[in-house]
Amino acid sequence: MIISETLEGHTYQVYSVAFNHDGTKIVSASNDDTIRVWNVNTGECVLTLEGHTGGVNSVAFNHDGTKIVSGSVDETIRVWNADTGSLLNTLEGHKRDVQSVAFNHDGTKIVSGGKARTIRVWNVDTGECILTLGEKWNNDTLEGHIGPVYSVAFNHDGTKIVSGSTDETIRVWNVDTGVCLSTLKGHTSWVNSVGFNHDGTKIVSGSRDDTIRVWNVDTGLCLSTLKGHTNDVTSVAFNHDGTKIVSGSYDETVRVWNVDTGVCLSMLKGHMAWINSVAFNHDGTKIVSGSGDDTIRLWDVFLLRYRFTQNLYSNETINWLKDSEISYTVNIKKDQLIFFVSRKFHPLFLDITVSSQGYKVERPGNLLLEDMITKEACDRVKKQGYETIENLMVDLYRSFAYTKIGKTYEYKLKF
């Protein structure tokens, strides 16, 4: 189940969003020239950072959450105090728009990429540019991108940088030497977004060709191509354990994918314009998205993995996580299984019907609408006959499984 909250305050489209490490704050960047910091629990804007003289394309927290870095069309990078909002430093050197910025894990370096095709690495303390990638020539060939660099990221140990460009390629760089280690080819249009998984063995990329690709870092081989978006993929990111990818697109949807299978697990709708940026929080329970509709959406991702023994002729409330309650009703009949769950007026209602071809899953409408508080759904459950089952487990991303009379049945849910 996925529920969203809308954060409003920017006066123009939101280009970039990110969580801090402990998930208590979100930072956002907008074409209104400002950066905003938000309290995740309350949804309130707690800081507005002003100083850029053009739209802000990219923002990120450092690992301990004390600093924010931003890159702008004003050709500068700025480093801010995340608690006070004060400007700590302005890094100058890019000759055109700065499209992407990121800290390394220990917060001592910043990487930036921009429309001038180069990638720069900066010392955070001094503000000095210590490395420029993409300016070396070898046998009359430029060892770098031949188009603007739209996305850059460090791997976890800070030894490599990945970059994505409008030249349709992804490049992996050695941070110490500045040497391009590999060039990943396969996308048929601009690469808008790139990122490493936590252990640095995989790269994810999103492209204007409407696809997402997962790559092996060591071999440079494309492991899988994820298809489903119907317009440019603008932003991609792994969750912390590397099992899922979140993506945003010009098709106005956010999607969650299983990395191993390439299956789209969820499609999140709610934004009224294209998605520019997406990110997971550290524990993977929340997603943040920034859009051309000037808003940020915060999505709660509920992974239900409960085991309990229950006589189904009753409703109960079980405590889940720290602040939430989930009410559930389950009904099993010979040819039908119904699972109904709601949290704070946001219901989920799955109707799983047996047929000769297997179990068909029906997921009606937009389940986030409050008018689906579903008296109708509850009435349907009450009218059915009840049976008792044991050991019910629900994982909305993987399967619906139940045990009855000593035998386990498992049915995959496809959303």
pLDDT value for 138? 53
Helix (H, G, I), strand (E, B) or coil at 315: coil
Neighbouring C-beta atoms of residue 11, cutoff 10 Å:
11
Residue spans in the chain of domains classed CATH 2.130.10.10: 3-301
Element (H, E) at 382: helix 375-383
pLDDT value for 3? 52
pLDDT value for 16? 99
Low-confidence ranges of the chain (pLDDT < 70): 1-4, 136-142, 302-415
- 260-267, long-range: CB < 8 A, 24+ apart: 262/214, 262/224, 262/225, 262/226, 263/414, 264/226, 264/228, 264/415, 265/397, 265/415, 266/2, 266/301, 266/397, 266/415, 267/228, 267/415
Asked if residues 212 and 247 have their Cβ atoms less than 8 Å apart, the reply is yes
| CATH (one of 2.130.10.10, 3.40.50.2300, 3.40.50.300, 3.30.750.24) for 3-301 | 2.130.10.10
Alpha helices, DSSP H, located in 122-267: none
pLDDT value for 387? 33
- Model's pTM, two decimal places? 0.75
pLDDT value for 4? 64
pLDDT value for 19? 99
